[in-house]
Structure 1
Amino acid sequence: MTNVHADLVEPGVPLPFCRILGSTEVEINGAAADLGGPRTRRVLTVLSTGHGDPVPDDYLIDKVWQKRQPGNVIQALRTIVNRLRTGLGPEVGHRYLRRGPGGYALAIPLDRTDHGRFAALIPRAQRRLADGESAGAADDFAAAVALWRGDPWQELGDEPELAGARFRLGELYETAVEELQAARLALGDTASAIAGLTLAVETAPYRERRWQLLALGLYRGGRQTEALAALHRIGRLLRTGTGTDPGPGLRMLEQRILHQDPVLLGRDCVAALAANRPFATPVSAGLAVNTGHGSGTGTAIRFDLPPRRMDARVSGASHSRNTHADNATRARDGGYTVDTCLVDIGNAADTVRRSLRDKQYDVVFIGATIQFGGDSRLLETVVNLAHELQPSCRFGFDDVAGMSAARRAMVGDSA
C-alpha cells in the first residue's frame, strides 16, 4: 500500500482518521470531528475520492451543487472549506485539507483511512490463511470486516464514476466475510464458523464459496446429513435461479462427505478450498496390513485402536494388534513397508506425534476403528498431526463394506 502524504505525520500533532466505508466521518485522536451539514460533508466526501490528490474546482463544484450552483460558487466553496478546517481543528485542518495549483486535496495518509487499511488487510489475511497462519488470518479478516459500515461514499449517491471502486471494495468485503469463517474453521472454531456462514448464505445466496465452507463446517461438527442438505439446497438455487449446476468445488466436496473422507478434518483442507485446488488425494482402501492386498511402493504407517473385549473370532482375526500403542510393528503389503501403531485415546496426540516425528512416510493409513469408532476428536487428532508432521503424505482409509465380519465387529458395525 503506497502511503501517500505520510510525510505530513509529525510527533505530537493530532492524527486524523477518515472513514468512507459508510457515511463519511473523520476522527481526531479517536473523537469524531464536527463536519457540519450535508453540503459540507459532501465536499469532504468528494475530496476523499481523490485519494490524496488535488480535486479540480470544476469537478468539485459539479459534484456538490450539480445544476443548483449559487451566484458566486467559488466563494461558496471557500466558505465550506473554511468550515471544514475549523471542524477538523487548527492543527489538522490546514495540514491535511490543502490548497494547491490543481485544487483542494484531502491529504490524509492512506493508512489513516478505513478504505486504505481495508484494502491492505484482506490480501495479507489471504496470504496468511494460505500459509497456515490461521490465527493471524482470522484477526486480519475480522479487523477488515469491522471497518465496513455500509456502501462507500454514501453522501454521493449513485455516481457512475464510483461504480468500479465501489464494486471492488464490495467484493473485498464479501471475500473477507467468507474467509473469516474459513480461518475459524482452520482454527477449530467450528460453532462460530457455522453461525457466521448460516447468516452469510442468506445475505448472498449465490456465492458458492459460502455454501462450500458451511457444508464443511457442518460435517466437521458431526452433522453430515445437514452438510449434504446444504449442498443440495445450493444446487437447487443455482439450477432454478441461474440455470447452472454447482461448480466442481461443491461437487467434489459432496463426494468427499459421502465417503467420509478423513482429509476433510485436516488443516490443509480449508487452505485447499480457499485456493480452489484439489485436496491431497487419498490412496485406495485396502492398504491395511491384515488385508493382504494393496498397491504402490514406499513406506506407510497404519493407525488403529487396540482390541477391546474381543471374542475368539475377532481375536483370531486380530492377533497382530496386541502391541503397545507406541510400539509399531512392521510388515509388507503390496509393495509398501508398513508400520502399525495402536493408539490409546488417552494419550493419542503424544503417541501419534512420536510415531510420525522421526520417519518420513509416503502414506498415512487410518484404520476403520478410528475412522468409524465414534470419537471424531481422535480422527481429527490423527489427521491434523499427520498434516503437520508429514505434509507431503497421502491418506488411506478402510472401507467398512469390504471388511471382514471380525473387523466390522471391532468398529461396532453389524451390517
Structure 2
Amino acid sequence: MKIESLIVQGIPAKNNENGAIVPPIYLASTYVQPSIEEHQTYAYGRGGNPTRNALEELISKIEGVDYGFAFASGMAATTTAFNLFKSGDKILVNSNVYGGTYRYLDTVFQQQELSYELVDDFNLLSEEDIDTTVKALFIETPSNPLLQVTDIQRLVAIAHQKGILIIVDNTFATPYLQKPFELGADIVLYSATKYLSGHADVIAGLLTVADSGLAARIKHLQNTLGNVLSPFDSYSLIRGIKTLSVRMDRQEANTVKILAFLKEHEAIARLNYPGSASPEEAAIQKKQTRGNGSVFSIELTEEYNPLKFVEELDLFDLAVSLGGVESLVCHPSTMTHESYAIELQEKIGISAGLFRFAIGIEHVDDLINDLAQALDLAKK
C-alpha cells in the first residue's frame, strides 16, 4: 500500500468493536480485571491505552516496523531514547541539533555520567573518529536550523560493525519524505507536534523501532518514566496524520516557489535548505528522500535590517515550532537555540541575523508578496 493510503487507512474501522470509522477515545485511567488469576490486556492507563495503542500501531505501520511508542512531547521521546544508555557511554550528535536536545545533553547528561560530542559534519566521520565509549550516533537530517543533510546509510555501515546504534530524528522530513529504517536506522523519533500533527494544537512525541529487544526496553522505560501521550492527544494526532501527505505536498510546493524568489533577491546573503550546502549534500538528499520539505533559513545582507524585516511581515508569525498549516518565522539565536552559548552559536553558523522559516499552506502568491514588501521596508 502506498504511504498516501496507509496514513489514511492504517487503522481499519473493523479493529474496534463497533466499527467506528474514527478510533474511540478511551479516557479510563484503570481497567477491571476478570479475576486475580486472569488479567486482560489493559490494567492502568500509563502502561497501555487503546487510543494511544492505535496511534502507536499506526506510526509503526507507516514506518514499516513492528513497534511504535507515543510520548507526551518530542523531548519525552528523545530523552527516553537517551535513557537506554548507562554511565560511561558516549553519544555523538550533529552540532546544529534542536536546542532542547542540546540542553538535555549539556545538563542532564552530566548528572547521569553520560557524555556527548558534537560533530560538525557527520558525512566526514570515519571509523577512527569513534572510540570504544561511543554507543550511538544521534542524527538530525535535515538538521535544525541549518538544514544540513547526513548520509544515513553511510553512517549505518560504519556504526553497525562496531555495535553502535543509529538514532534518527526524522521530524523535519517525516516518514512521508524519508524512511530511515529502509536505510538501516535502529531508532527513529519525531516531535509529532510538528508535521505529523500539522495544526499546532498537539504536543506529542513518537519513537519507532524494528528490534524486539530494543522495543522491550523502550516499553519498560515508557511505563516506568510515565511520559506517555494522553488519550485525547493520541486521537488528535491520528486525525492530523491522515492529512500529512496533502499538507506536505502543498507546503513543499509553496516552498519551492518561495526559494526561487529569494534566490534572486539582492537582500539574501545566505539561504539554507536541504542540499544547499554542497553538491555532495544535494546528492545525499536526493538519494535518501522524496522531497526537501518546507523549512529553510536565511541571512540578509548588511544593506537590510533583519529586525525590521521580521517586524514588517504580516503573514509570517514570529513563533517557535513548525509543521502547522500556518507559516512561521523564528529567530534561532534567541528562541529555539538560546540554550547554546553565543560562542557555540557563532562556531556552528547560528548568527544573530539567521531566521528560520516554516512554510504553511496559504496561497504562495500572498506569502511571496509579504516577503517582498517586508524586504522593501527593511532596506536601510
- TM-score, normalised via structure 1 length: 0.26
The structure with the largest helix share of the pair is 1
Between the two structures, name the one with larger relative contact order (CA 8 Å, sep ≥ 6): 2
- TM-score, normalised via structure 2 length: 0.28
The structure with the largest strand share of the pair is 2
Larger-Rg structure: 1
